[in-house]
Homo-oligomer: A and B are copies of this chain.
């Protein structure tokens, strides 16, 4: 499977992974949410090679997740800022952080706390059902094909995905 195919699969998760599902892209996005905007800022914060950084930024711009905006003429310079589409990645970022906070902290505790301005408290993100507001548990969710379904794969778990001969028997 190639990256391009991923984005065309009838699976929203696969498509998302096709866009942001690699180490550097995710880390670049972390920096974006931490308000880094410029090439040098990303590079020195992450230690990514300049080559890859340039490539990843281009891809994020192509995907409409970042916008490249001039901040000075003279030597033309641009900064990269999140579009709405990019800001919408926030729940993904929070979910990643929260899992790390829960399962990957050492004895010192969390490196970073999040305070909700609305209520003033440090919080954890909680996922709830948009319809009833109850917290979601994997076990209580049932998936079924939607209008965009097309392949039998990825819609629901087929109990046994037919095996095919791997070698020519001749």
A91–B91 Cα distance when bound, in Å, is 9
Report the copy number of this chain in the oligomer: 2
Q: Mark A51-86, 1 if CB is under 8 A from B, else 0.
A: 000000000000000000011101000000000010
A132–B118 Cα distance when bound, in Å, is 8
Q: Which residues of B contact A3 (CB under 8 A)?
A: 23
Contact of B131 with A116 in the complex, beta carbons under 8 Å:
yes
A99 touches which of B16, B22, B127, B146 (Cβ 8 Å): B16
Least CB distance from A71 to B in Å reads 5
A8–B143 Cα distance when bound, in Å, is 36
A100–B115 Cα distance when bound, in Å, is 27
Contact of A145 with B113 in the complex, beta carbons under 8 Å:
yes
A45–B93 Cα distance when bound, in Å, is 27
By size class, the interface of chain A is 35 or more
A52–B169 Cα distance when bound, in Å, is 26
Contact of A100 with B132 in the complex, beta carbons under 8 Å:
no
- 8 Å CB interface, A32-51 against B: 33-36, 38, 40-41, 44-48
Contacts A1-B48, A12-B105, A31-B157 aside, 15 further interface pairs with beta carbons under 8 A come to A11-B111, A12-B110, A12-B111, A13-B30, A13-B100, A36-B161, A41-B163, A72-B168, A90-B137, A91-B98, A92-B96, A112-B145, A119-B131, A121-B131, A126-B130
